[in-house]
């Protein structure tokens, strides 16, 4: 079964890291990604640019409205994701708990909806 | 077959349903991989037994027969429905290919299934209220209506919780497993917490006319027994002991008029000696295992109380010793409060309860030698990984005072957002007696303007221990409070008022970052912070005055990120109260620096105990 691990970080916290701290943090991410590739959990994953680069688009009264930033105001922002395949939720939680940001921010684990193909 | 024989079979099937339906269900869930399907199969199996046993005779192993029949009925029903849904056909095929020999399902396997069922119902990925409802439904076999009645909730609400939980188990694929050794301590914590919630809801009913609801306490104890039977971990044993020892006092706990009777005033001849004996034996067993934790310690405390023929004969030294160990195992203000006996009418005036200086307070008393490990530390303390887990309920559930209120509020916090919302609503709905002053801008500014001077007079020139002392980890020191007030000036009150007055399309406030000051002021002196605050406050109040706000302007709305719609008037009133609250907080944090020095005066100094769970 596939699960999406949505990674929420406090960008302020990440921005406040020194060069060596942030290098070490990135190193952990590389090691983690390698690890789940080897274990067969990895399906995909990307990091996102900071939330200042985000644009929110919606259509209201038939008109496209484009605004700066994300819709919800929160302390933590979506910073990246992994798509994994796991035996069950416990297995997925195991993987998610090793994502380096789980220590600093939050990881949300969501099962992928599988639609029956006709 | 005679009518009599048929009647006998009916009675036997009824009895079997009461004694074994949960076991059969637990196995069917494993075989069928789905709660709904298993429940349906369970009922089909019992219906089939009623039909066939009178004709064919009772099988040698009725439980295995029921499992087998249930599984067969489920596959059959899936096949019938498969005409409309191709995926069901595949499922039926998979199930059919699985093991079918009921003799292979030995009793040990069945016991494992019951444990699987408990751990799945109490999976931490399910919301706490759903864990409780699902456990009562699936493990105890209570109906939705019974659960709703017990918790004074509407039946559809309970039904929805159960439906959602079952759907999450299926859709997120929560496995039907007993957790691995490594995960067991944490997962067992969740299970024990659910069991204790069930018991406590019955023992100190949080709502409803009666103070106790024996049915739920009974279910809690039944669950506790089942758990001890299936998984005899020390804390499971300790929890069962705790529940039995509390339960032993039930009859003495309420007066004829239905009011709560405090422990000291209870008629101890009405305590249930059988339950006390069983509880005490279980406490000894849990302590002997050396892997015990807070439930066992609380049970040990209850056992010491149970041992005293009358209140004055209580072995307080032993109780203080146990609270000391408990406080080290799970540092919690509630434990500390109970240990000192503050904020509660338990200890009569003039005998202010045991305190740290009590001779023999550190003595481990009648615990088995060495049970507390080296230096009196609790071997199980590491089990919670230093996580400040809430004590489930007050360690002294007979205290009707602050302790119980605190634990109830804490339980509401632990119960998640739904209960918390209810608590917030309750707070908003509570009128404050004796407050008749309406909002007045000038009178607000009067208070706001003198806060910098008040802070200066209170803090300027005091030494570091006063200025930097906190109320515990994660709480503010006076220095932090000043930093937080500066943050308010820069990011909160006036910026939010501006958003309201701009009357723009977006009325939403920025969230108030309550910890912005931590990094910002790391190297600052208190003097420079006080000066900065005074400067910012003066400028902001000048600005506020210059707006010449009318009554109509005060009614303008803004959108708080979590509270929703608020008016400018409410924002400004909150600013005043926020100042006063933090002045009180500074006084409290300072007072607590001497909390251990005042000795027996603790009960007369409510500043030390009124906020046992301070937040920054």
pLDDT one-digit tens code per residue, A26-78: 999 999 999 999 999 999 999 999 888 888 898 998 998 888 877 666 788 89
Strand partners, A3: A84, A111
* Contact across the interface for B173 and A111, Cβ inside 8 Å: yes
Q: Quote the pLDDT of residue B363.
A: 36
Residues B406 and B509 in one domain: no
Q: How far apart are CA B366 and CA B283, in angstroms?
A: 12
Residues B570 and B487 in one domain: yes
pLDDT tens by residue, A95-115: 999 999 999 899 999 999 988
Kindly state whether residue B541 falls inside one of the protein's structural domains: yes
Residues B101 and B124 in one domain: no
* Contact across the interface for A111 and B510, Cβ inside 8 Å: no
Q: How far apart are CA A102 and CA A106, in angstroms?
A: 5
Q: Quote the pLDDT of residue B616.
A: 56
- Cβ neighbours of B125 in A, within 8 Å: 89, 93
* Contact across the interface for B173 and A89, Cβ inside 8 Å: yes
Q: Are B517 and B483 in contact (CB under 8 A)?
A: yes
- Cβ neighbours of A104 in B, within 8 Å: none
Kindly state whether residue B615 falls inside one of the protein's structural domains: no
Residues B381 and B510 in one domain: no
State the total domains in chain B. Answer: 3
How far is the alpha carbon of A90 from chain B, nearest alpha carbon, in Å? 7
Residue of A nearest to B512 (CA): A75
- Cβ neighbours of B86 in A, within 8 Å: 116
Q: Quote the pLDDT of residue B103.
A: 45
Q: Which residues of B touch A (CB under 8 A)?
A: 86-87, 123, 125, 171-175, 177, 179, 183, 508, 510-511, 513, 519, 561
Q: How far apart are CA B454 and CA B538, in angstroms?
A: 14
User: How far apart, in Å, do the first and last CA atoms of chain A sit?
Assistant: 20
Kindly state whether residue B616 falls inside one of the protein's structural domains: no
Residues B98 and B115 in one domain: no
* Contact across the interface for B561 and A1, Cβ inside 8 Å: no
* Residue from A89, A93, A98, A113 to probe the interface with B (highest B Cβ count within 10 Å): A89
Question: What number of C-beta contacts closer than 8 Å exist between A and B?
Answer: 32
* Contact across the interface for A89 and B174, Cβ inside 8 Å: yes
* Residue from B34, B86, B123, B172 to probe the interface with A (highest A Cβ count within 10 Å): B172
Residue with tokens 């209850």: B302
Q: Quote the pLDDT of residue B52.
A: 93
pLDDT tens by residue, B145-184: 888 888 878 999 999 999 999 999 999 999 999 998 888 8
* pLDDT of B266 strictly over 60: yes
Of A73, A87, A89, the CB nearest to B125: A89
Q: Quote the pLDDT of residue B333.
A: 53
Domain boundary among B393, B423, B453: B423
Nearest to B395 by CA among B484, B294, B473, B536: B294
Residue of B nearest to A1 (CA): B173
Kindly state whether residue B331 falls inside one of the protein's structural domains: yes
Q: How far apart are CA B117 and CA B183, in angstroms?
A: 16
Residues B163 and B246 in one domain: yes
Kindly state whether residue B428 falls inside one of the protein's structural domains: no
Q: How far apart are CA B232 and CA B245, in angstroms?
A: 18
Q: Are B244 and B279 in contact (CB under 8 A)?
A: yes
Q: What confidence tier does B398 reach under pLDDT thresholds 50, 70, 90?
A: very low
Q: Secondary structure of chain B: what % helix, strand, coil (to 5)?
A: 65, 0, 35
H/E element, A108: strand A106-111
Residues B227 and B285 in one domain: yes
Angstrom distances, CA of residue B376 to CA of A19, B148, B390: 44, 44, 22
Q: Are B102 and B81 in contact (CB under 8 A)?
A: no
Residue B434 vs residue B294, higher pLDDT: B294
* Contact across the interface for A75 and B513, Cβ inside 8 Å: yes
How far is the alpha carbon of A89 from chain B, nearest alpha carbon, in Å? 5
Q: Is the dihedral of CA B161, B164, B169, B172 positive or negative?
A: negative
Q: Quote the pLDDT of residue B389.
A: 31
Q: Is the dihedral of CA B410, B413, B414, B418 positive or negative?
A: positive
Q: What confidence tier does B3 reach under pLDDT thresholds 50, 70, 90?
A: confident
Look over chain B and give the mean of its residue pLDDT values, rounded to a whole number: 78
- Cβ neighbours of A91 in B, within 8 Å: 175
How far is the alpha carbon of A21 from chain B, nearest alpha carbon, in Å? 17
Residues B83 and B173 in one domain: no
* pLDDT of B367 strictly over 70: no
Domain boundary among B105, B139, B171: B105
- Domain of B48? 3-105
Nearest-10 crossing angle of helices B493-502, B568-593: 170
Q: Are B222 and B247 in contact (CB under 8 A)?
A: no
pLDDT tens by residue, B33-82: 899 999 999 999 999 999 999 999 899 999 999 999 999 999 988 888 87
* Contact across the interface for B125 and A87, Cβ inside 8 Å: no
Angstrom distances, CA of residue B583 to CA of B450, B475, B477: 12, 14, 11
pLDDT tens by residue, B533-570: 999 999 999 999 989 888 888 989 888 877 788 899 99
* Contact across the interface for B174 and A75, Cβ inside 8 Å: no
Q: Secondary structure of chain A: what % helix, strand, coil (to 5)?
A: 35, 35, 30
A16 touches chain B (CB under 8 A): yes
Residues B206 and B127 in one domain: yes
Residue with tokens 């396997």: B109
Retrieve residue B88's tokens: 């069901």
Phi-psi region of B491 (alpha: psi -120 to 50; beta: other; left: phi over 0): alpha
Residues B336 and B485 in one domain: no
Mean pLDDT confidence for B178-198: 89
Q: Quote the pLDDT of residue B434.
A: 57
Domains for chain A: give ranges and CATH numbers.
Answer: 2-111 (3.30.70.1060)
B441 alpha carbon, distance to own chain's centre: 42
Q: Are B509 and B494 in contact (CB under 8 A)?
A: no
Strand partners, B260: B254
Mean pLDDT confidence for B347-362: 34
Q: Is A46 helix (H, G, I), strand (E, B) or coil?
A: strand
Angstrom distances, CA of residue A34 to CA of A8, A38, A39: 21, 6, 9
Of A74, A89, A116, the CB nearest to B172: A89
- Cβ neighbours of A1 in B, within 8 Å: 173
A58 touches chain B (CB under 8 A): no
Residue B520 vs residue B436, higher pLDDT: B520
Of A16, A90, A111, the CB nearest to B175: A90
Residue B375 vs residue B219, higher pLDDT: B219
Domain boundary among B88, B105, B122: B105
DSSP state letters, B78-98: HHHHTTT-HHHHHHHHHHHHS
Of B172, B177, B179, the CB nearest to A111: B172
H/E element, A60: strand A55-60
Q: How far apart are CA B501 and CA B149, in angstroms?
A: 49
Mean pLDDT confidence for B327-335: 64
Kindly state whether residue B431 falls inside one of the protein's structural domains: no
Kindly state whether residue B612 falls inside one of the protein's structural domains: no
What is the value of pTM for the model shown?
A: 0.59
Q: How far apart are CA B165 and CA B149, in angstroms?
A: 20
Kindly state whether residue B115 falls inside one of the protein's structural domains: yes
* Contact across the interface for A75 and B511, Cβ inside 8 Å: yes
A104 touches chain B (CB under 8 A): no
CATH number at residue B451: 1.20.120.450
Q: Quote the pLDDT of residue B326.
A: 82
Residues B230 and B158 in one domain: yes
How far is the alpha carbon of A26 from chain B, nearest alpha carbon, in Å? 23
A24 touches chain B (CB under 8 A): no
Residues B495 and B468 in one domain: yes
């Amino acid at each position: 079964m596939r699960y999406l691990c949505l990674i929420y970080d406090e960008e302020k916290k990440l921005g406040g890291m020194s060069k060596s701290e942030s290098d070490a943090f990135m190193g952990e991410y590389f090691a983690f990604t390698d690890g789940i590739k080897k274990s067969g959990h990895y399906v995909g994953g990307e990091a996102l640019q900071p939330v200042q680069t985000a644009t929110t688009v919606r259509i209201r009264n038939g008109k496209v409205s484009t605004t700066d930033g994300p819709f919800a105001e929160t302390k933590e922002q979506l910073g990246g994701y992994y798509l994994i395949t796991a035996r069950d939720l416990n297995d997925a939680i195991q993987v998610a708990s090793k994502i380096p940001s789980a220590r600093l921010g939050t990881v949300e684990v969501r099962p992928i909806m599988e639609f029956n193909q006709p | 077959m005679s009518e009599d024989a048929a009647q006998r079979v009916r009675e036997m099937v009824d009895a079997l349903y009461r004694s074994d339906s949960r076991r059969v269900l637990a196995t069917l869930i494993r075989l069928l991989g789905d709660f709904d399907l298993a429940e349906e199969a369970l009922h089909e199996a019992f219906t089939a037994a009623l039909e066939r046993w009178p004709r064919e005779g009772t099988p040698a192993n009725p439980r295995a027969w029921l499992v087998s029949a249930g599984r067969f009925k489920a596959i059959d029903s899936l096949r019938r429905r498969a005409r409309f849904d191709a995926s069901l056909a595949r499922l039926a095929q998979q199930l059919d290919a699985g093991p079918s020999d009921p003799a292979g399902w030995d009793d040990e396997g069945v016991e494992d299934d019951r444990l699987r069922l408990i751990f799945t119902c109490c999976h931490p990925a399910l919301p706490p209220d759903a864990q409780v409802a699902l456990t009562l439904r699936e493990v105890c076999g209570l109906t939705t209506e019974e659960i709703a009645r017990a918790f004074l909730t509407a039946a559809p609400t309970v039904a929805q919780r159960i439906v959602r939980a079952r759907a999450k188990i299926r859709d997120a694929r929560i496995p039907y497993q007993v957790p691995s050794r490594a995960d067991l301590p944490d997962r067992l914590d969740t299970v024990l917490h659910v069991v204790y919630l069930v018991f406590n809801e019955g023992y100190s009913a949080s709502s409803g006319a009666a103070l106790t609801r024996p049915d739920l306490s009974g279910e809690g104890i039944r669950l506790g027994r089942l758990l001890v039977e299936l998984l005899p971990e020390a804390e499971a044993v300790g929890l069962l002991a705790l529940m039995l020892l509390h339960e032993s006092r039930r009859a003495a706990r309420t007066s004829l008029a239905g009011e709560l009777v405090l422990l000291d005033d209870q008629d101890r001849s009405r305590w249930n000696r059988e339950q006390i004996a069983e509880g005490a034996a279980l406490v000894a067993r849990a302590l002997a295992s050396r892997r015990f934790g807070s439930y066992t310690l609380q049970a040990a405390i209850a056992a010491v109380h149970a041992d005293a023929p009358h209140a004055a004969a209580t072995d307080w030294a032993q109780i203080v010793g146990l609270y000391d160990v408990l406080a080290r195992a799970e540092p919690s203000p509630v434990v500390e409060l109970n240990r000192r006996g503050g904020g509660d009418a338990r200890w009569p005036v003039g005998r202010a309860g045991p305190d740290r200086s009590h001779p023999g307070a550190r003595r481990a008393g009648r615990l088995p030698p060495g049970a507390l490990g080296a230096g009196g530390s609790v071997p199980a303390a590491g089990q919670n990984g230093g996580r400040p887990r809430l004590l489930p309920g007050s360690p002294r559930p007979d205290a009707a005072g602050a302790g119980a209120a605190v634990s109830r509020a804490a339980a509401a916090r632990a119960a998640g957002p739904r209960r918390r919302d209810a608590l917030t609503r309750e707070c908003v709905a509570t009128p404050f007696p004796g407050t008749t002053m309406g909002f007045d801008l000038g009178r607000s500014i009067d208070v706001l303007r003198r806060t910098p001077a008040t802070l200066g007079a209170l803090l300027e020139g005091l030494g570091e221990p006063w200025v930097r002392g906190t109320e515990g980890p994660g709480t503010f020191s006076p220095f932090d409070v000043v930093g937080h007030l500066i943050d308010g000036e820069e990011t909160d009150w006036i910026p939010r008022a501006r958003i309201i007055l701009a009357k723009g399309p977006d009325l939403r406030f920025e969230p108030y970052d309550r910890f912005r000051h931590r990094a910002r002021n790391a190297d600052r002196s208190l003097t420079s912070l006080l000066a900065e605050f005074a400067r910012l406050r003066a400028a902001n109040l000048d600005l506020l005055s210059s707006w010449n706000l009318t009554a109509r302007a005060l009614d303008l709305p803004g959108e708080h990120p979590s509270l929703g719609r608020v008016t400018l008037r409410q924002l400004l009133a909150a600013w005043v109260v926020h100042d006063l609250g933090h002045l009180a907080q500074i006084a409290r944090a300072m007072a607590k620096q001497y909390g251990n020095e005042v000795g027996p005066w603790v009960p007369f100094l409510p500043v030390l105990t009124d906020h046992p769970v301070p937040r920054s």
